[in-house]
Structure 1
Amino acid sequence: MPTIVLKIDVDTYRGTREGVPSLVRILKQHQANATFLFSLGKDHTGWALRRAFRPGFFKKVSRTSVLEHYGFKTLTYGVFLPAPDIGKECVEEMRAAKRAGFECGIHCWDHVVWQDNVRRRGEAWTQRQMQAAYDRYIEIFGAPPKTFGAAGWQMNRHAFAQLDQFGIRYTSDTRALLNEDGSLENPAAGPYRLSDGDEVFEAVQMPTTLPTLDELLGVEIHGAEITEANIAAHILSLTTEQKNHVFTMHAELEGQKLAPILIELLNGWSEQGYQFISMGQYYAQLKEQELPVHPISWRELPGRSGELLAFDAKPIR
C-alpha cells in the first residue's frame, strides 16, 4: 500500500497552543499517523519582518494572508510584545501529542533565527542552537529525540554533522524539486543520504515531495487561480499515480483556519488508497535498503522566496 508521511512543522506559540491540539483531534478521527516537529525556544515571529527586503517575500505574504493565519499578536512577538517561550509555556500541548501516540521531534530552537541565519553561520553558533533544542526536548519528553526537520528547509554542513552526533537516524530537511504546478520534477525523488565532499552523513533524508498549502494558495495554474475551494482537488490530482510521498503541514495553517482542507485531503488520499504514517514508520521500511547518496544542493521552489535545500537529481553513488 502506498504511503503518505505526514510531517507537521510547528513554528509558533499559537501554532503549538491552538494548532497542535486541533491536529491531534483531526488525525485521530481519520486514523492517521504523523510526526510533530516542535520549535522549542522563544517565538520571535515578529523578527521575520526583516524578510521584507528579500525577493518574492511581499508576493508570498499577499497570496497567503499571513496576518489572517498567524494573527496580529504572533506577528508582533519579539518586536512590540515579548517573545513567549514555547518550550516552557506549551509543555502540556506537546506532551499531549506524544500521549496520543504521535511521534515527536525537533524543528528548531528559534524558528526565525534559524531560518534567517543558519546557512551562513559556523560550527559554534550551529552547535549552540541545536544543543539548546536537544536539551529542551529531553526536558519536556524525558528521552532524546529520534528525528528532526529543519525550519524553512535551511541547514549547513555543521548542522548535518550535529544530527549524526545526536544519533538521529532519519530527518526531513530537504525538498524534492517541483514544477510550477507542484508536480515532481524528478518522479524518482525519495529517501537518500547527503554528502559534503567525501563526508557522507548517516541520517536518512526524507525530502518533502508535495507542495505545501502556502506555496499554492493564490497561484495561477493552468489558467485558474488556486483557492481554498479547489486546492485540495489540485493536490489530490498530483497523487493519482501512487507512490510514497512526504507532505509537510504547518500547525498554524492546517491546524487552524485551513483544517477543512486537511480533512478533504485525508478523505481523498484514503479513497486513492494511501496509508498515513509517521517519519519513524517510514524509516522502519527503509533502514535495510541501500539508499543513494546525493550532494548538498540549494534551489528555488515555486511559491516560496529564497533558496531551499533540495534533492539533487544526480546521485554521486
Structure 2
Amino acid sequence: MPTIVLKIDVDTYRGTREGVPNLVRILKQHQANATFLFSLGKDHTGWALRRAFRPGFFKKVSRTSVLEHYGPKTLMYGVFLPSPDIGKECVEEMRATKRAGFECGIHCWDHVVWQDNVRRRGEAWTQKQMDAAYQRYIDIFGAPPKTFGAAGWQMNPHAFAQLDAYGIQYASDSRAMLNPDGSLSHQAAGPYRLSVDQREFQCIQMPTTLPTLDEMLGLEIDGEQISESNIAAAILKLTAEPRNHVFTMHAELEGQKLAPILVELLNGWSEQGYQCISMGQYYANLREQELPSHPLTWAELPGRSGELVALDLK
C-alpha cells in the first residue's frame, strides 16, 4: 500500500493553541496518522516583515492571504505586542497531542530567527538555537526527540551534524527539486542520507515531495488558476500514480481556515488507496534498507520566495 507521510509544521502560538487541537480531531476522525513538529521558543512572527525586501515576498503574501490565515495579532508579535513563549504557554496542547497517539518532534526554537539566519550562521550560533529547542522538548515531553524538521527548509552543515550528535534518526529538512521544465515535481526523491564535504550524515532525510497549500494557492498550473475550490483536486492529481510521498502541512493553515481542504485530501487519498502515516512509521520500514547518498544543494521552488534545501533529481 502506498503511503502519504503527513508532517505538520507548527510555526506560531496561535497555530499551537488552536490549529493543533483541530488537526488532532480531524486526523483521528479519518484514522490518519501524522508527525507534529513544534516551535518551542517565542513567537516572533512580526519580525518576518523584514522579508519584505526579498524577491517574491509580496507576491507570495498577496496570493496566500497571510493576514487572513495568521491573524493581525500574530503578525504583531515581537513588533507591537510581546512575543508569547510557545513552549511555556502551550505545554498542555503539546502533551495532549502526544497523548492522542501522535508522534511529536522539533521544528525549531524561534521560527523567524532560524529561517532568516541559519544558512549563513556558524557552529556556535546553530548549536545554541538547537540546544534550546532540544532541552525545551525534553522539559515538555520527558524524553529526547526522535525527529526534526527544519523551519522553512533552512539548514546549514553544522545543523545537520548536530542532528547526528543528538542521535536523531530521521528528519525532513529538504524538498524535492523541480522537473527539468521547471514545473512542480511529483516524480520526487525518496529517503536518502545527506553528504557534505565527503561526510555522510547518519540521520535519514525524508524530503517533502508534494507542494504545500501556501505554495500552490494563486499559481497557474496547466492553464488553471489554483484556488481553495480546486487545490485539493490539483494535489490529488499529483498523487494519482501510486508512490510514497511526504506532505507538509501547517497548523496555521490546514488546522484552521483551510481545514476543509485537508478533509478533501484525506478522503481523496483514501479513495486512491493511500495510508496516511507518521514519519516514525515510515522510518520503521527504512531502517534495514540501503539508501542513496546525495550532496547538500539549494534551489528555488514555485510559490516560495528564496532558496531552500532541495534534492536535485536532474
| Residue in structure 1 matched with residue 273 of structure 2 by the alignment | 273
TM-score, length-normalised on structure 1? 0.97
TM-superposed CA distance for 1:188, in Å, is 5.4
Say whether the 8 Å CA contact 2:176–2:185 is kept in structure 1. Answer: no
CA distance in 2 between partners of 1:303 and 1:260 (Å): 21
Following superposition, the deviation at residue 197 of structure 1 comes to 1.3
**Given that residues 16 and 86 in structure 2 are in contact (C-alpha distance below 8 angstroms), is that contact kept between their aligned partners in structure 1?**
yes
Establish whether residue 78 from structure 1 lines up as the match of residue 78 from structure 2: yes
Residue 182 of structure 1 pairs with residue 184 of structure 2: yes
2:107 equivalent in structure 1: 107
The one-letter code sitting in structure 2 at the alignment partner of 1:182 is L
Distance 2:228 2:200 in 1: 41
- SS of aligned partner of 1:201: strand
Identity score, percent: 83
The aligned amino acid for 1:172 is: S
Q: Output one character per residue of 1:87-107: Cα deviation in whole Å (capped at 9) or x when no partner.
A: 000000000000000000000
C-alpha distance in 2 between matches for 1:188 and 1:214: 19
1:9 aligns with 2:9: yes
Give the number of equivalent residue pairs.
312
Counterpart-to-counterpart distance in 1, 2:57 and 2:170: 31
8 Å CA contact 2:12–2:86 kept in 1: the answer is yes
* Matched AA of 2:176: A
Unaligned runs of 5+ in 1: none
Q: Structure 2 CA distance, aligned partners of 1:160 and 1:118?
A: 11
Q: Give the secondary-structure state (helix, strand or coil) at the position aligned to 1:7.
A: strand
Task: Report SS of the residue matched to 1:294.
Answer: strand
1:313 to partner: Cα distance = 2.3
2:260 aligned partner? 260
Q: What amino acid is the match of 1:290?
A: E
Q: Note the alpha carbon deviations across 1:240-296, whole angstroms, 9 max, x for none.
A: 100000000000000000000000000000000000100000000001000000000
Distance 1:110 1:47 in 2: 11
2:162: which partner in 1? 162
Deviations 1:144-175 (A, max 9, x none): 00000000000000000000000001000000
Partner residue, 1:313: 313
Give the residue type in structure 2 aligned to 1:88.
K
Q: 2:188 & 2:93 partners in 1: Cα distance?
A: 37
Structure-to-structure mapping, 1:51-90, within 5 angstroms:
51-90=51-90
- The residue aligned with 1:140 is 140
- Alignment check: 8 A CA contact 2:6 2:35 kept: yes
Deviation at 1:224, TM superposition (A): 1.8
Mapped partners of 1:120, 1:163: distance in 2: 18
Q: 1:312, CA displacement in angstroms?
A: 2.4
* Contact 1:182 1:238 (8 Å CA) reproduced: no
Work out the CA distance in 2 between the residues paired with 1:54 and 1:87: 29
Which whole-Å CA distance do the structure 2 matches of 1:181 and 1:276 have between them? Answer: 25
Distance 1:80-1:205 versus aligned 2 partners, 3 A rule: same
Aligned to 1:42: 42
Distance across 2 between alignment mates of 1:223 and 1:69: 26
* Counterpart-to-counterpart distance in 1, 2:293 and 2:170: 14
- Give the whole-Å Cα distance in 1 for the aligned partners of 2:185 and 2:198: 32
Show the 5 A alignment for 1:110-259. Answer: 110-179=110-179, 182-184=184-186, 187=187, 189-259=189-259
> What residue number does 1:283 align with?
283
* CA 1:216–1:181: 2 relative to 1, 3 Å: farther
| Offset, 1:24 | 0.1
In the other structure, the counterpart of 1:297 is: 297
Partner SS state of residue 310, structure 1: strand
In structure 1, C-alpha distance between the alignment counterparts of 2:230 and 2:178, rounded to whole Å: 19
TM-score relative to the length of structure 2: 0.98
Structure 2 unmatched ranges of 5 or more: none
SS in 1 for 2:265: helix
Query: Hey, which bits of structure 1, 4+ residues long, moved more than 2 A?
Result: 178-184
SS where residue 88 of structure 1 aligns?
helix
